[in-house]
Amino acid sequence: MPRLTPLPPRDVERILKRNGLRPAAERPHGTDWLHPDDPERRTTVPRKTRIAKGTLSSIARQAKKAIDEFKAG
């Protein structure tokens, strides 16, 4: 399993786009992302300067991807 490091939200959004998710809604705390073909694959990217390792792990799990698949796109 590759090691996770904190990432800026812009990098996480690029990874989500490569994994087929699209922005669904802008909220004060972050952006909701949804997969158009599989509505169970949804997550929220918080508005922070860096997204912590635990949050990245949670985002990957909600996108239904393993960490290495998630980062590879």
Q: What is the pLDDT of residues 9-66, one digit of tens each?
A: 999 999 999 999 999 999 999 999 999 999 899 999 999 889 999 999 999 999 998 8
User: What does the block give as tokens for 10?
Assistant: 């812009």
User: What does the block give as tokens for 70?
Assistant: 């998630």
Amino acid at 38: D
Q: What is the pLDDT of residue 2?
A: 61
Provide the 3-class DSSP secondary structure of residue 43: strand
pTM here is 0.87
Which residue(s) pair with 25 in the sheet?
Answer: 32
CATH number (3.40.50.460, 3.90.650.10, 3.30.920.30, 3.40.50.300) of 9-72 reads 3.30.920.30
Question: What residue spans define the domains of the chain?
Answer: 9-72
Binning pLDDT at 50, 70 and 90, where does residue 1 land? low
Binning pLDDT at 50, 70 and 90, where does residue 68 land? confident
Q: What is the pLDDT of residue 38?
A: 92
Residue 6 burial (CB < 10 Å; 0-12/13-18/19+)? Answer: middle
